[in-house]
Chains A and B, each alone.
Chain A
Amino acid sequence: EVQLVESGGGLVQPGGSLRLSCAASGFTLSSYKMTWVRQAPGKGLEWVANIKQDGSEKNYVDSVKGRFTISRDNAKNSLYLQMKSLRAEDTAVYYCARDYLYTYASRYYYGVDVWGQGTTVTVSS
């Protein structure tokens, strides 16, 4: 069974740090681009970051640039999100997710096809 399981969430003070982990199983992690998406309480989905299959390219939403770092260890089938200088507005459920590359009408499309159950990060004093 294809599965993603996040861990590492919790309560942290403003300015603190936290490292989220995501364990992948049932598929070969190294074959897929991976993504973190978050959802603040009562709000919509926000894409946070993604990372290429070999880790050579990383992208971030503007609000986390310079504070968050996405990384992966394909040998350990794991994805990570290191979060520093945390703010109250970073409070959210963080989802680890897989980017799947589809072929349709001879063109290529990405879609986020597998999601973890989410881990909750609360930034509060």
Chain B
Amino acid sequence: DIQMTQSPSSLSASVGDRVTITCRASQNIDNYINWYQQKPGKAPKFLIYAASSLQSGVPSRFSGSGSGTDFTLTISSLQPEDFATYYCQQSYITDMYTFGQGTKLEIK
């Protein structure tokens, strides 16, 4: 099984900050990684596929990068609505998706 490890587990930041969340895969997954945002009590929202392609409607302040085993999600200028938990997910093995454990982004 492919394990996905996110860091940090939690992060405090202020509106306007640039933040980066990291996800590491236990084996090479090329660029088959997705990112999701989840707010309390809500279903996840799909943000990015293929490591760097923004889903339709996602603000351009979100960006993703990486290939192989190391990936990042960057928010260039935090907005109040961005405080949430973020998950990475590998789609390299389509008969067994795995998610990272999540990164909770909190207001400083």
Interface residues, chain A, CB within 8 Å of chain B? 35, 37, 44-47, 50, 57, 59, 61-62, 95, 102, 104-105, 107, 109-113, 115-118
Question: A39 CB to closest chain B CB, in angstroms?
Answer: 8
B100 touches A110 (CB 8 A): no
Residue of B nearest to A61 (CB): B96
Residue of A nearest to B35 (CB): A111
Distance in angstroms between the alpha carbons of A37 and B46 in the assembled complex: 14
Report if A102-B101 is in contact (Cβ < 8 Å); known contacts: A110-B91, A115-B43.
no
B96 touches A59 (CB 8 A): yes
Contacts of A35 in B (CB 8 A): 97
For chain B, residues 13 to 65, give those with C-beta under 8 angstroms from any C-beta of chain A: 32, 34, 36, 38, 43-46, 49-50, 53, 55
Question: A36 CB to closest chain B CB, in angstroms?
Answer: 11
Question: Would you mind naming 28 contact pairs between A and B with Cβ atoms under 8 Å apart?
Answer: A35-B97, A44-B99, A44-B100, A45-B36, A45-B87, A45-B99, A46-B99, A47-B89, A50-B94, A50-B97, A59-B95, A61-B96, A102-B50, A104-B53, A109-B34, A109-B53, A110-B49, A110-B94, A111-B34, A111-B46, A111-B49, A111-B91, A112-B36, A112-B46, A112-B89, A115-B44, A116-B43, A118-B43
Distance in angstroms between the alpha carbons of A73 and B87 in the assembled complex: 30
Distance in angstroms between the alpha carbons of A61 and B93 in the assembled complex: 12
Residue of A nearest to B85 (CB): A44
Distance in angstroms between the alpha carbons of A45 and B87 in the assembled complex: 8
Contacts of A61 in B (CB 8 A): 96
Contacts of A59 in B (CB 8 A): 95-96
Question: B32 CB to closest chain A CB, in angstroms?
Answer: 6
B97 touches A111 (CB 8 A): no
A102 touches B36 (CB 8 A): no
B98 is an interface residue with CB less than 8 A from chain A: yes
> 20 new A-B pairs (CB below 8 Å) besides A105-B50, A109-B53, A111-B49?
A44-B85, A44-B87, A44-B100, A45-B87, A47-B98, A50-B97, A95-B43, A104-B50, A109-B32, A109-B34, A109-B49, A109-B91, A110-B49, A111-B34, A112-B36, A112-B44, A112-B46, A112-B89, A115-B43, A115-B45
